[in-house]
C-alpha cells in the first residue's frame, strides 16, 4: 500500500535517477582524462557507439510494426543525444566539470518551471537556481566564453532530451526506443569522432576505456532515467536533475583533483534541498501518461 498522494514506484524511480547521476559524473571524469588522446568529439563517438552496441544487445529492439512518426521520434531523440553529448564534452574541454554541469542544469530547471502547474515549483526552482549560481561562484573567474556557449547549448539539449525521452518511452516498449535512438546518435557522431580521434581508437586500451565511459555515462544513466520517466512527473524529474552539479563537483574533486570552496558547498546544499522539496511537493502530481514496462 502506498501513502496517500504518493505515486506507486516513485521512491525507486528517484533512486534510479540518483544512481544514474553518480555513474554519469564518474564517466565524465574518466572522459576528461581521455581527451588528450581522442579529443572531445572522439570521446563522444566512443561513448555513443559502445552505448548503442550494448543497448542493442540488451534490448534486441523490434524493427517492424512502428509508425513513421515513431521512427521520426527515434531519429529526433538520436540527434538530441549526439548534440547534447557533443556540446557537453566541448564545454568540458574548456571548463571544470562542476562548472560545466552547473551551467548545463539550467535547461532542466527552466523546463521544470514550464512543465509544472504548481506554484511551489517556482519556489523550489528558484532555490535550485540560487544553488546553481552559488555552486559556480568559485569558478566564474576560470570561465572560457566559448566553453560557456557550449555548456548553454548542452543545457538546451538536456531539456530537449527530457522531452524526447518521455515521448519515445510512450511509443516504444522497454528500452527499444532508447537502443534505436542511441544507434542513430552513434551514426551521427561517427564522422565527427573519426576526424577528432584519428587512429587513436584503434588502441585496445583506449577502446576499453571508451567502453567504460559508455557504460558509466550513457548506458546505465540513460536506461535508468528512461525507466524513471515512466514513473515520475516531468517537473519532478527535471528538478531532481539539479542534483547533478553536486555529483559533478564531488566527482571532479575525488577523481580530477578539483577542490571545492565553501561557496560551492553552499550551492550544493541548496540544490539538494531544492530537489528534496520539489520531490516531496510534487508527489501528488499525475505522472506523464507513458507506456508501462512489460
pLDDT tens digits, 32-66 = 989 988 999 999 999 899 989 988 898 888 877 77
List the domain range (segments joined by +) for residue 21: 10-282
Question: Would you say residue 293 has pLDDT above 50?
Answer: no
Q: What percent of the chain has pLDDT over 90?
A: 19
Nearest-CA neighbor of 178 among 189, 191, 192, 167?
167
Report the mean per-residue pLDDT for the chain: 80
Give the pLDDT confidence score for residue 107 in this predicted structure: 81
**152 inside domain:** yes
Highest mean pLDDT (candidates 26-35, 104-113, 252-261, 269-278)? 26-35
Give the pLDDT confidence score for residue 294 in this predicted structure: 27
**4 inside domain:** no
Question: Would you say residue 8 has pLDDT above 60?
Answer: no
**3 inside domain:** no
Q: Give the predicted TM-score (pTM) of the model.
A: 0.79
> Based on the structure, what is the number of domains in the chain?
1
Question: Would you say residue 79 has pLDDT above 80?
Answer: yes
Three-state SS for 73-120 is HHHHHHHHHHHHHHHHHHHHCCCCHHHHHHHHCHHHHHHHHHHCCCHH
**21 inside domain:** yes
Q: Which of 45-49, 70-74, 149-153, 271-275 has the lowest average pLDDT?
A: 271-275
Looking at per-residue confidence, does 277 or 81 come out higher?
A: 81
Give the pLDDT confidence score for residue 9 in this predicted structure: 54
- Cα torsion at 197, 202, 203, 209 (round to 10°)? 70
Give the pLDDT confidence score for residue 172 in this predicted structure: 80
**125 inside domain:** yes
**158 inside domain:** yes
Q: What is the pLDDT of residues 168-198, one digit of tens each?
A: 877 787 778 888 999 999 999 999 999 988 8
**290 inside domain:** no
The DSSP H or E segment spanning 139 is: none
**179 inside domain:** yes
User: Is the distance from CB of 233 to CB of 286 less than 8 angstroms?
Assistant: yes
For residues 100-120, average pLDDT: 76
Amino acid at each position: 500500500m502506498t501513502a496517500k498522494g504518493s505515486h506507486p514506484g516513485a521512491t525507486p524511480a528517484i533512486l534510479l535517477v540518483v544512481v544514474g547521476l553518480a555513474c554519469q559524473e564518474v564517466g565524465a571524469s574518466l572522459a576528461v582524462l581521455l581527451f588528450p588522446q581522442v579529443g572531445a568529439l572522439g570521446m563522444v563517438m566512443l561513448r555513443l557507439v559502445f552505448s548503442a552496441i550494448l543497448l542493442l544487445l540488451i534490448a534486441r529492439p523490434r524493427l517492424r510494426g512502428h509508425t513513421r512518426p515513431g521512427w521520426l521520434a527515434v531519429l529526433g531523440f538520436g540527434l538530441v543525444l549526439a548534440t547534447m553529448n557533443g556540446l557537453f564534452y566541448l564545454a568540458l574541454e574548456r571548463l571544470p566539470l562542476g562548472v560545466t554541469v552547473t551551467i548545463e542544469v539550467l535547461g532542466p530547471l527552466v523546463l521544470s518551471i514550464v512543465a509544472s502547474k504548481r506554484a511551489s515549483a517556482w519556489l523550489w526552482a528558484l532555490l535550485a537556481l540560487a544553488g546553481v549560481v552559488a555552486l559556480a561562484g568559485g569558478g566564474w573567474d576560470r570561465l572560457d566564453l566559448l566553453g560557456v556557449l557550449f555548456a548553454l547549448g548542452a543545457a538546451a539539449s538536456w531539456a530537449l532530451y527530457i522531452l524526447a525521452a518521455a515521448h519515445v518511452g510512450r511509443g516504444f516498449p522497454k528500452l527499444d526506443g532508447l537502443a534505436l535512438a542511441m544507434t542513430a546518435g552513434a551514426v551521427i557522431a561517427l564522422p565527427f569522432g573519426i576526424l577528432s580521434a584519428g587512429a587513436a581508437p584503434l588502441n585496445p586500451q583506449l577502446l576499453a576505456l571508451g567502453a567504460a565511459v559508455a557504460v558509466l555515462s550513457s548506458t546505465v544513466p540513460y536506461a535508468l532515467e528512461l525507466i524513471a520517466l515512466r514513473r515520475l512527473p516531468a517537473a519532478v524529474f527535471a528538478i531532481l536533475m539539479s542534483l547533478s552539479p553536486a555529483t559533478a563537483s564531488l566527482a571532479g574533486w575525488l577523481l580530477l583533483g578539483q577542490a571545492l570552496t565553501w561557496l560551492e558547498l553552499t550551492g550544493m546544499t541548496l540544490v539538494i534541498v531544492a530537489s528534496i522539496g520539489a520531490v516531496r511537493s510534487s508527489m501528488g502530481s499525475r505522472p506523464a501518461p507513458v507506456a508501462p514496462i512489460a
